[in-house]
């Protein structure tokens, strides 16, 4: 969470509400990039995030395997796998098809669904 500078109460209120709106929209639809808020996420313009629900991970070895599979997909620059929640967030080029990423995991035995 970044700190919002609020030198003027009205401007501070406006930017806080824009910030919250952005996060609400973002959690509703992780796939939609928001061009008007460039400073909130360190993400290149031609990149997007893909949220995946992954079934079948039971240990750290599974987590490592899922990470390896994700990072081996073309266009994927970053993969953060959450073993406990059975999920992953992937940073990929906008040319990457989210379903192809999920299919690669499913083919390896980890049933994956695109969340966004
Ligand atoms: Cu395992």
Q: Compute the distance between CA of residue 106 and CA of residue 103 in angstroms, rounded to an integer.
A: 5
Task: Kindly state the DSSP code that residue 87 receives in the 8-state scheme.
Answer: E
Residues lining ligand 1 (ion), CB within 5 A? 58-59, 61-62
Domain boundaries, the chain: 1-42, 43-116
Q: How many CB atoms lie within 10 A of CB 17?
A: 10
At residue 63, the 3 state secondary structure works out as helix
Ligand 1 centroid to Cα of residue 106, in Å, is 15
Second CATH level (architecture) for the domain 43-116: 2-Layer Sandwich (3.30)
Per-residue confidence of the chain (116 residues) as pLDDT tens digits? 556 665 655 554 444 444 433 433 343 344 344 444 343 455 688 999 999 999 999 999 999 999 999 999 999 999 999 999 999 999 999 999 999 999 999 999 999 999 96
Rg of the chain, C-alpha, whole Å: 17
Q: Is residue 6 within 8 Å of 54, Cβ to Cβ?
A: no
What does pTM read for this prediction? 0.63
Which tokens is 65 given?
């395997």
């Amino acid at each position: 969470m970044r700190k919002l500078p609020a030198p003027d109460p009205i401007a501070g209120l406006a930017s806080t509400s824009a910030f919250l709106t952005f996060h609400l929209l973002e959690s509703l639809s992780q796939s939609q990039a928001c061009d008007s808020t460039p400073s909130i996420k360190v993400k290149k313009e031609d990149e997007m995030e893909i949220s995946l629900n992954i079934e079948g991970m039971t240990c750290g070895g599974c987590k490592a395997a899922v990470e390896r599979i994700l990072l081996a997909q073309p266009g994927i620059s970053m993969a953060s796998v959450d073993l406990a929640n059975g999920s992953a967030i992937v940073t990929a080029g906008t040319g990457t098809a989210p379903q192809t990423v999920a299919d690669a995991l499913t083919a390896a035995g980890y049933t994956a669904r695109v969340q966004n």
